[in-house]
Chain A
Amino acid sequence: MRRLRSLILAGLVAVAAAAPAVASEEMEYPKNEWSHGAVTRGFSNIFGTFDRKALQRGFQVYKEVCSACHSMNLLSYRNLSALGYNEAEITAIAAGYDMTDGPNDEGEMFTRKGVPADHFKAPFPNEKAAAAANGGKAPPDLSLIVKARKGGEDYIVALMTGFETAPAGFTVPSGGNYNKAFPGHVIAMPPPLSDGGVTFADGTKATVEQQAKDVATFLAWAAEPNLEARHQMGLKVMIFLIVLAGILYAAKRAVWADQH
């Protein structure tokens, strides 16, 4: 047993020791504190819950800034109840959008006000239109962006705060912007956030960093809306399994007592 264990350990150590020596082209992003525990970082905060105020501010940033170009097709207005909005508020948010519906009994498409059951209204009618309006490539949908990028929330923050003037000798092609966090450093998206670009209802100072963290929190929730339910159930399941394992261990000891 012991020898076998050291054998396996040796194998793992060999691999682990080799790992840091690799020429790494992958980017590292500064790690932020997240009250929910980062979605993409395992075991980071097993009691984590979303910061409701940050979620609402983040939604405001998305609504007033990002949604001009980025869709969130997987979300519905009804989902916003998880951010702490009540039914009247959600109805009002949804009613702020005009939705194309139909065909009606006359076979005509018509426009109506949004309802909570509607999916988030996309900025462009289709992907081709989105690409045509944005230099040939459609801005990515943001519903899952936190889970779809290495670094998750931290990547979003790094990207939002990573716009700067290109270092000497680095030529940025026309239509591109320099961003130190973006792979390849040239991104078509112009810097979306600016200090005071939004005015938060709760009086929080809207610095670029603040907006970046808030919108990253909102996008983390959008990608993983059941995170809190998962953490809560996980705690119960873990306690159950550990207690059961303890009972079974005691039973095993008792059954085997006459054999040792």
Chain B
Amino acid sequence: MAHGPATSSFKNPVVNWLDQRLPIFTMIQKEYGVFPTPRNFNYFWNFGAIAMIMLVTMIVSGIVLAMHYTPNTNLAFNSVERIMRDVNFGWLIRYIHMNGASFFFIAVYIHIFRGLYYGSYKKPRELLWMVGVVIFLLMMATAFMGYVLPWGQMSFWGATVITNLFSALPLVGQDIVTLLWGGFSVDNPTLNRFFALHYLLPFVIAAVVFLHVAALHVTGSNNPLGVEPKGPQDTLPFHPYYTVKDSFGTVVYLAIFAAFVFYAPNFFGEPDNYIQANPMVTPPHIVPEWYFLPYYAILRSITFDISIPFTGLKLIEAKLGGVIAMFGSIAILFILPWLDTSPVRSARFRPIFKKGILAFLVAFFLLMYVGAQTADAAWHLGGLEIPLVYVGQLATLVYFGFFLSLPFVGLIEKPLPLPASIAKPVLGGGASAAGATAKPMEKA
């Protein structure tokens, strides 16, 4: 263990004095200043930074809302309306928070898809990926509980439907539900604990994000080619190259976000949530927020019991099967690094994988669509009636099929030839020194 002040050589004496005792400036310099970053990022690599900005936006707007919100079943709905009407700029803060949740999820979905497409989950980034899945799960829990707080009809009935899912678990199910509710139905204790947890979890997310970034700075970033940087000619210092690129991307994203906040603030919302919760009146059509729809559709796709053939012995009831499938759709992401047996990361060089991920993407959007429809909805093509539950089941099959086929795809697929290094395809013609010759950029 080395004792005594560290050596720092900053020009500013105050910075130097601080840094010798707490090397925070050295750390920033190392991790965000000169940090070697692949030179060939495309704009998909903006979404980590964007998601971070959205997390901060949600925490800041959420704390201000919490100063005016009252977590009591008799007062919650009206306290939110008081924020909308009487609190100075309350409408702005509330609409930022409401739409911020959607834009946080949009950024994170693109971020996850980018990781899938370019194989960012593969060795040596398995743990980085798994920590990311934990963040995603925490986000889902936080968003779900946050949606309950305004105590509208959809808040109440969404909470009732989703918490009830846990009752499908054998043995402990009903106890878990009682624990979640703090009673025997969704009521004031439920609202209180959801508020407490909704306030807590974002800080847990922030801590796990810190781990996510720490792990990233061990392995370094993946890149669109999926080949590791082989030397300084393949990387650029994070600052100024990626600070300026991330800033630009973030501001463009914020502009789209702002357009919704100011001109379509209720676009992602449900009219029913502007009706105060009423346990005596069930809305005709209970739908979760859009970012949960794919999983909701997977849940509803399991309409059959799973039993041992010819014996009539039920192994798994349909309800439990749905719950398992829904949680399984996220859980499978945890083992993804070991499901994929191909050594090649980027889908650019993986012809079969690329078709698979296209099918996966279509299935994901289809599930999102099916999740928003009523359970008995159907497509009418000419005289043909296709119940949407079949469409959902097919899409569920594709969703899981994509992941479960990866071990075999890795074995049979012939990847395209990989570039020798990052610098080669970017600079073209085997330029020796980075940027020495300003050749026109080749399309990577």
Using a CB–CB cutoff of 8 Å, the interface residues on chain A facing chain B are 1, 3-4, 7-8, 10-12, 14-15, 18-19, 21-23, 25, 39-40, 42-43, 46, 74, 79, 140, 143-144, 147-150, 183, 223, 225-226, 229-231, 233-235, 237-238, 241-242, 244-245, 248-249, 251-252, 255-256, 258-260
**Chain A residue nearest to B363 in the complex (CB):** A11
Q: Could you tell me the distance in whole angstroms from the C-beta of B336 to the nearest C-beta in chain A? A: 19
The answer on a CB contact under 8 Å between B263 and A14 is: no
Q: A4-B117, A231-B263, A234-B261 are known contacts; what are 12 more A-B pairs with Cβ within 8 Å? A: A1-B224, A18-B366, A22-B373, A43-B259, A74-B81, A226-B84, A229-B91, A230-B262, A230-B265, A245-B255, A255-B240, A260-B440
A244:B251 contact, CB within 8 angstroms = yes
B185-205 CB mask vs A (1 if < 8 Å, else 0) is 000000000000000000000
Q: Are B358 and A144 in contact (CB under 8 A)?
A: no
Q: How far is the CA of A4 from the CA of B358 in the complex (A)?
A: 9
Which B-chain residue is minimally distant from A25 (CB atoms)? B374
Given contacts A230-B92, A252-B245, contact A241 B263 (CB under 8 A): no
Chain A proximity mask over B73-117: 1 for CB below 8 Å, otherwise 0 = 000001001001100000110010000000000000000000001
Q: Given A4-B117, A255-B244, does the pair A15, B263 have CB atoms closer than 8 Å?
A: no
- Verify A23–B438 contact, CB threshold 8 A: no
Residues in B neighbouring A46, C-beta threshold 8 A: 262-263
Query: Taking the nearest CB of chain A, how far is it from the CB of B436, in angstroms?
Result: 10
By a CB distance below 8 angstroms, the chain A residues around B435 are: 258-259
Chain B nearest Cβ from A12, distance in angstroms = 7
**What are 13 A-B pairs at a CB distance below 8 A?**
A7-B361, A14-B366, A21-B380, A23-B379, A23-B380, A46-B262, A148-B271, A148-B272, A226-B85, A238-B258, A241-B254, A258-B435, A259-B435
Task: Indicate if the CB atoms of B91 and A19 lie closer than 8 Å.
Answer: no
Interface code B246-270, partner A: CB below 8 Å = 1, 0 otherwise? 0110011011001111111111000
A241 to B260, CA, bound (A): 13
Which chain B residue lies CB-closest to A249? Answer: B248
Report the Cα distance A80→B94, complex, angstroms: 23
User: Are B117 and A23 in touch, CB under 8 angstroms?
Assistant: no
Which residues in B have some Cβ–Cβ distance to A below 8 Å? 39, 42, 44, 78, 81, 84-85, 91-92, 95, 117, 224, 236, 240-241, 244-245, 247-248, 251-252, 254-255, 258-267, 271-272, 274-275, 284, 348, 354, 357-358, 361-362, 364-366, 368-369, 373-374, 377-381, 388, 434-435, 438, 440-441
Contacts of B368 in A (CB 8 A): 15
Smallest CB gap from B374: residue in A: A25
On chain A, the residues within 8 Å of B259 by CB distance are 43, 234, 238
- How many whole Å from A219's CB to the nearest CB in chain B? 12
A19 to B373, CA, bound (A): 10
CA distance A79 to B81 in the complex (A): 14
| Cβ–Cβ < 8 Å partners of A40 in chain B | 266, 271
Known A-B contacts A4-B117, A23-B378, A230-B92; the reply to A260 vs B441 at CB < 8 A is yes
Instruction: Verify A230–B248 contact, CB threshold 8 A.
Output: no
With contact pairs A40-B266, A144-B274 given, residues A241 and B244 touching in the complex (Cβ less than 8 Å): no
Of A3, A11, A223, A252, the residue contacting B364 (CB under 8 A) is A11
- Chain A residue nearest in CB terms to B440: A260
Secondary structure of the A contact surface, majority rule: helix
Within the complex, which residue of B244, B357, B365, B441 is in contact with A248, where a contact is CB–CB below 8 Å?
A: B244
Given contacts A241-B254, A256-B241, whether A147 and B266 have CB atoms under 8 Å apart is yes
Q: Is the CB of B378 within 8 A of A234?
A: no
A14 nearest CB neighbor, chain B only = B362
Q: Is the CB of B255 within 8 A of A234?
A: no
CB of B369 within 8 A of CB of A248, answer no
Q: Would you call A259 and B434 a contact (CB within 8 A)?
A: yes
Would you call A233 and B92 a contact (CB within 8 A)? yes
Task: Say whether B272 contacts A238, CB under 8 Å.
Answer: no
Q: Which 10 residue pairs across A and B have the least CB separation, nearest first?
A: A42-B264, A234-B262, A148-B274, A248-B248, A241-B255, A226-B91, A147-B274, A144-B274, A11-B361, A245-B251
Whether the Cβ atoms of B271 and A150 lie closer than 8 Å is yes
Q: List, in ascending order, chain B residues with CB within 8 A of A18's CB.
A: 366, 369, 379
- Is B244 a contact partner of A238 (Cβ separation < 8 A)? no
Q: What's the dominant secondary structure at chain B's contact region?
A: helix
Q: Which among B117, B248, B271, B274 is the interface contact of A252 at CB below 8 angstroms?
A: B248
The reply to whether B369 and A233 form a contact with Cβ atoms under 8 Å apart is: no
Within the assembled complex, what's the spacing in Å between the Cα atoms of A42 and B358? 30
Indicate the member of B236, B264, B440 with the most A CB atoms within 10 Å: B264
Decide: B379 and A21 in contact? CB cutoff 8 A: yes
Chain B contacts for A252, CB-based, 8 A: 244-245, 247-248
A238 to B263, CA, bound (A): 11
Min Cβ gap B169→A in Å is 32
CA distance A18 to B348 in the complex (A): 29
A118 to nearest B CB, angstroms? 14
With a cutoff of 8 Å between Cβ atoms, the chain A residues found around residue B248 in the complex are 245, 248-249, 251-252
Contact of B377 with A241 in the complex, beta carbons under 8 Å? no
Which residues in A have their C-beta under 8 angstroms from that of B264?
Answer: 42-43
Contact A11 B365 (CB under 8 A): yes
Closest B residue by C-beta to A145: B274
Chain B contacts of A241 at CB under 8 A? 251, 254-255, 258
Chain B neighbourhood of A223, CB < 8 A: 274
Set of chain B residues within 8 Å of A19, measured between Cβ atoms: 369
A251-B366 in contact given A40-B271, A225-B85, A260-B441 (Cβ < 8 Å):
no
Contacts of B240 in A (CB 8 A): 255
How far is B224's CA from A230's CA once the two chains are assembled, in angstroms?
40
Known interface pairs A40-B271, A238-B262. Does A11 touch B255 (Cβ–Cβ under 8 Å)?
A: no
CB closest chain-A residue, reference B118: A4
State A80–B388 Cα separation when bound (angstroms). Answer: 48
In this complex, what residue of B is CB-closest to A245? B251
A8, B266: Cβ atoms closer than 8 Å: no
Contact residues in A for B369 (Cβ distance below 8 Å) = 15, 18-19
> Does B362 lie within 8 Å of A10, measured CB to CB?
yes
Residues of A within 8 A of B91 (CB): 226, 229-230
Provide the residues of chain A in CB contact with B245, threshold 8 Å: 252, 256
CB distance from B342 to the nearest CB of A (A): 18
Chain A minimum-CB-distance residue to B274: A148
